[in-house]
Amino acid sequence: MEMWLREMQIENAAMTYKIKETLVRKKTKYQDLAIVDTEAFGKMLVLDGIVQTTIKDEFVYHEMITHIPLFTHPNPKKVLVVGGGDGGAIREILKHPSVEKAVLCEIDEDVITECKKYLPEISCALDDKRCEVFVGDGIKYVKEHKNEFDVIIVDSTDPFSIAEGLFGGNFYKDIFEALTEDGIFIAQTETPFFLPDTVRKVFNDAKSIFPVTKLFMAAIPTYPGGYWSFTVGSKKYDPSQADTSKIPHLDTKYYTPELHRACFVLPKYVEEVIK
């Protein structure tokens, strides 16, 4: 018997994947969690029926959400990841020798536990001595840590249910205060093709708070539309003007110094979304 996962994140469109095996399925305190092994994308983390990451294409998302801000900041020492319980962002952050401490703040401990068990390729750095794992509410954590982080990465699920509060002006104001005087924040900000209103709102919320606000795109096959947006808010440094000649070689599969600046060149329809 064939098994298929059908993701209905976007109204009037669906993504469908053939499943070889369900590795774990459980109701956590916060959400429905599943890790499945698929024919096309390998092992896949699914939360509330929405694909979060897969073994085959996770490198795109995790490299772009981390290396853009970390190579924009001249000396990032302390980094916070809100969400991101799969550990992929932490893995990429710790490739930067300047980073002395990376804090993962994940509300759902089961995500961390199950990803360590079934997705070790992604979660492999969570036990690194430079990584501190805090299980709790990211909104509350940010509010309680003023002027502390050089980079804050909001690696959240989509803006529904438990992640809804991670998209918007009030949270971004608290992030601004939690950053050091030249700090940088980045968040995944959805698909401009299917959710242009969400992209526009999040970008404008960030723009109203941060002196420098930029949006860039990356191609992620398992996300609706295959073309995903990220918003950067910076107190001082412009990520689109980073000196890429000083970027050292890293073990990456998607991110390159050349791509760092090129990704900020937006298609016309995306430019119009954020005007």
Q: What is the 3-state secondary structure (H, E, C) of 73-121?
A: CCCCCEEEEEECCCCHHHHHHCCCCCCCEEEEEECCHHHHHHHHHHCHH
* Confidence at 159, pLDDT banded by 50, 70, 90: low
Rounded to the nearest 10 degrees, the angle between the axes of helix 169-178 and helix 196-207 is: 40
Instruction: Say if residue 86 carries a ligand binding annotation.
Output: yes
In this structure, the answer to whether residues 123 and 160 fall within a common structural domain is yes
Residue 168 has pLDDT above 90, yes or no: no
The alpha carbon of 2 is separated from its chain's Cα centroid by a whole number of angstroms, namely 32
Backbone angles phi, psi at 117, to 5 degrees: -80, -45
Residue 269 and residue 272: Cα distance in Å, rounded?
A: 5
pTM: 0.94
Q: Which of 54, 71, 91 is the last residue of a domain?
A: 54
Task: Report pLDDT digits (tens) over 89-145.
Answer: 999 999 999 999 999 999 999 999 999 999 999 999 999 999 999 999 999 999 999
Summarize the confidence of residues 11-25 as an average pLDDT. 92
Instruction: Say if residue 188 carries a ligand binding annotation.
Output: no
In this structure, the answer to whether residues 184 and 247 fall within a common structural domain is yes
Summarize the confidence of residues 242-268 as an average pLDDT. 94
In this structure, the answer to whether residues 47 and 64 fall within a common structural domain is no
In this structure, the answer to whether residues 8 and 87 fall within a common structural domain is no
Instruction: Say if residue 110 carries a ligand binding annotation.
Output: no
Alpha-carbon torsion (105, 263, 192, 231), positive or negative:
positive
Instruction: Say if residue 161 carries a ligand binding annotation.
Output: no
Domain count, the chain: 2
- What CATH number does the domain containing 78 carry? 3.40.50.150
Summarize the confidence of residues 214-220 as an average pLDDT. 98
User: How high is the pLDDT of residue 95?
Assistant: 97
Task: Report pLDDT digits (tens) over 72-90.
Answer: 999 999 999 999 999 999 9
Residue 240 and residue 245: Cα distance in Å, rounded?
A: 13
Phi-psi sector, 203: left (phi>0), alpha (psi -120 to 50), beta: alpha
State which amino acid sits at residue 257: P
In this structure, the answer to whether residues 116 and 171 fall within a common structural domain is yes
Residue 161 has pLDDT above 60, yes or no: no
User: How high is the pLDDT of residue 165?
Assistant: 53
In this structure, the answer to whether residues 112 and 77 fall within a common structural domain is yes
In this structure, the answer to whether residues 34 and 87 fall within a common structural domain is no
Q: Give the count of alpha carbons within 13 A of 34, CB side only.
A: 15
Residue 162 has pLDDT above 50, yes or no: no
Catalytic (active site) residue 155: yes
User: How high is the pLDDT of residue 163?
Assistant: 43
List CB contacts of 9: < 8 A, sequence separation 6 or more: 15, 49, 50, 158, 224
User: How high is the pLDDT of residue 58?
Assistant: 98
Q: Coil, helix or strand for 153?
A: strand
> Catalytic residue among 155, 182, 205, 238, which?
155
**Residue 160 or 193, more confident:** 193
In this structure, the answer to whether residues 198 and 124 fall within a common structural domain is yes
* Confidence at 157, pLDDT banded by 50, 70, 90: low
In this structure, the answer to whether residues 251 and 127 fall within a common structural domain is yes
Task: Report pLDDT digits (tens) over 34-69.
Answer: 999 999 999 999 999 999 999 999 999 999 999 999
In this structure, the answer to whether residues 118 and 86 fall within a common structural domain is yes
Instruction: Say if residue 113 carries a ligand binding annotation.
Output: no
Instruction: Say if residue 233 carries a ligand binding annotation.
Output: no
In this structure, the answer to whether residues 91 and 195 fall within a common structural domain is yes
Q: Provide the residue range defining the domain that includes 84.
A: 58-274
Eight-class DSSP state of 263: T
Residue 223 has pLDDT above 70, yes or no: yes
Instruction: Say if residue 42 carries a ligand binding annotation.
Output: no
In this structure, the answer to whether residues 80 and 132 fall within a common structural domain is yes
User: How high is the pLDDT of residue 158?
Assistant: 58
User: How high is the pLDDT of residue 9?
Assistant: 78
* Confidence at 14, pLDDT banded by 50, 70, 90: confident
List CB contacts of 170: < 8 A, sequence separation 6 or more: none
Instruction: Say if residue 165 carries a ligand binding annotation.
Output: no
Task: Report pLDDT digits (tens) over 112-124.
Answer: 999 999 999 999 9
User: How high is the pLDDT of residue 11?
Assistant: 79
- What CATH number does the domain containing 27 carry? 2.30.140.10
When mean pLDDT is compared across 12-26, 155-169, 214-228, the lowest value belongs to: 155-169
Q: Coil, helix or strand for 185?
A: strand
Q: How far from 78 is each of 60, 81, 82, 132, 243, CA to CA, in Å?
A: 23, 10, 13, 11, 21
The alpha carbon of 53 is separated from its chain's Cα centroid by a whole number of angstroms, namely 10
- End-to-end CA distance of the chain: give it in Å, rounded: 49
